[in-house]
Amino acid sequence: MSKKLWGGRFEKGTDKVVEDFHSSIRFDQRLYKQDIRGSIAHARMLGRQGIIAASEAEQIIEGLEKILADIDAGLVEFDVAAEDIHMNIEKILTERIGDVGKKLHTGRSRNDQVALDVRLYLQDEIVETDRLLQELITVLLERAEEHVDTIMPGYTHLQKAQPITLAHHLLAYVQMFGRDRSRLADCAKRFNISPLGSGALAGTTFPLDRMAVAQELGFDGITENSLDGVSDRDFAIEFCGAASLIMMHLSRFCEEIILWSSQEFSFIELDDAYSTGSSMMPQKKNPDVAELIRGKTGRVYGDLMALLTVMKSLPLAYNKDMQEDKENLFDAVDTVKGCLAVFTPMIRTMRVQSDRMKAGAKGGFTNATDVADYLAKKGVSFREAHEIVGKMVLMCVQKSVALEDLSFEDFRACSEAFEEDVFDAIRVERCVADRKVPGGPAPDAVKAAIQAARERLG
């Protein structure tokens, strides 16, 4: 059994079962780039501060750079007995350059080391997640531009409510995903401080230049309390919260894609590349990609709840429970990125059946509110107009006709305020065009919203 780097106080080796149970190298090896990057900055500072010889610092840095290249090339096999990525890299370094490698950990604990690595990792992943969100928003804007005039029913309670356009509907998700980007940026800004130098919990007696290391690694500053520096994981929880909201927005959209692609709606047809069939029923074309994203949303929610539960009762400072932060964080990152990567091309390639959408907008009395608004503009109080139109809808239901199928005499029998122009006012095209309020579905309002969204993207 290999000797532990922390084994001086112990008389016996770690039980093999405990060793396997205790080790995190199976999953935290993905932090190797961040770990080596942090170690290089730390070693350079140690040499600059005279804590170790400058020549020793250079030897350590050169050794770390070679280890990084070898890991990238797939030439390194990690050792479970070395427990984690930090001790694996230090072990390899010492094997290669000798006792000088043992000086790397001067003035540092794995507690502040891992807190640094996870921050560096999450910085990189937020950049990539934001890029995927930008790509999705770009596609949504492109599709919205194609369908400024594509009329469809808007829904409340999954019942037809008022006519809108597909562009207006898509722009609602542009707003949601835009807020998701803002949350990620806010999260990244908040945790962009370096914990390195916090030590195990109480700092160190060595004259570390914490700010120089932070600046080299791209941080805005340093943590102001060493206890907090090593025991804080709220930044990981915050990311999982932001990821959960991204997934919630994707899931809502997927639910609509699933409905719209059904025979009952037939508003869209998904490209074959983003659909699957049935092993038994030859006619099936299933929206499995959308369904999987909807299902994976619960997985990311679970990652968030797991992290909250891990942290909820931990006394200061570091506790081994916190090793459990990584698998859930990694899973949330992987799941969100994977879902965005497949969702965007699914939207880009879906075929819109505009005639079906417009036909849907003409049913379900979606113009009833416009009839009430018409009366209100003629001097009838809206509350009275609402009552009148409610009775007209009931009459239409009993006759199995639409409001626009009524005769002018029928309209006049309900209110003398109706005039011949009512038939133009309640056409679905007119209903949409008249909603010119900023943020509404009228073509000019939609075009302005598209332009504003493009300017925000830069």
Q: What are the catalytic residues? A: 157, 278
* Contacts with 177 (C-beta within 8 Å, 6 or more apart), sequence order: 133, 136, 137, 140, 246, 249
* Cβ proximity of 437 and 446 under 8 Å: no
Strands 268-269 and 351-352: antiparallel
* DSSP string for residues in 397-416: HHHT--GGGS-HHHHHHH-T
* Contacts with 130 (C-beta within 8 Å, 6 or more apart), sequence order: 181, 184, 185
* Cβ proximity of 293 and 233 under 8 Å: no
Return the H-helix or E-strand segment holding 23.
none
**How many of the other CB atoms lie within 10 Å of CB of 347?**
20
Whole-angstrom Cα distance, residue 455 to residue 458? 5
Q: How far apart are the first and last CA of the chain?
A: 57
* Contacts with 240 (C-beta within 8 Å, 6 or more apart), sequence order: 300, 303, 304, 307, 328, 329, 332
Whole-angstrom Cα distance, residue 401 to residue 231? 67
* Cβ proximity of 344 and 136 under 8 Å: yes
Amino acid 219 reads F
